[in-house]
Structure 1
Amino acid sequence: MPPAPGPVSKPDYLTEEQWAGLTLAILTGVAEGVDRAGLSWASDLGVTAVSAVRTRMDELRVAEGAPDG
């Protein structure tokens, strides 16, 4: 099994409150989905989901021409 994903840093373009709310919503959704499916990978999948969302938000900001940071 591959190693668990590492922590995901807050993007500079979100406030602490925005990032906390977003990550909490993602982690809650993953935990509920994993529970309904009867799986035990909530932590690993939650961090992976947060990382994927962070990556996609960065891509969207670049596509919109927003300055980095």
Structure 2
Amino acid sequence: MTVVWRARGCKKGAPVGGLPATGQAPEGTPGARVSATAGELVLYLYDRIPADGDRVRIDGDPALLDQLRAWDPQE
């Protein structure tokens, strides 16, 4: 099963929302896309595993994901 989520960066962080599983593409083109299992995505976001292309694959601008990973919601 594939679940698609979209995070949009803004000054207050990165609000995340699920997209409907209608088979239709969401509006706009994402700056970056990550493909991984849920567990591997969490490990990647917490800098426990690299985006090596086998477990975690990034398409697009990896600098956007670096910004998300570096974001501190307490700031």
Tell me whether the two structures share a fold, i.e. TM-score over 0.5.
no
Which protein is richer in helix relative to its size? Answer: 1
* Greater relative contact order (Cα < 8 A, sep 6+): 1
Which protein is richer in strand relative to its size? Answer: 2
Q: What TM-score does the superposition give when structure 1 sets the normalisation length?
A: 0.27
Larger radius of gyration: 1
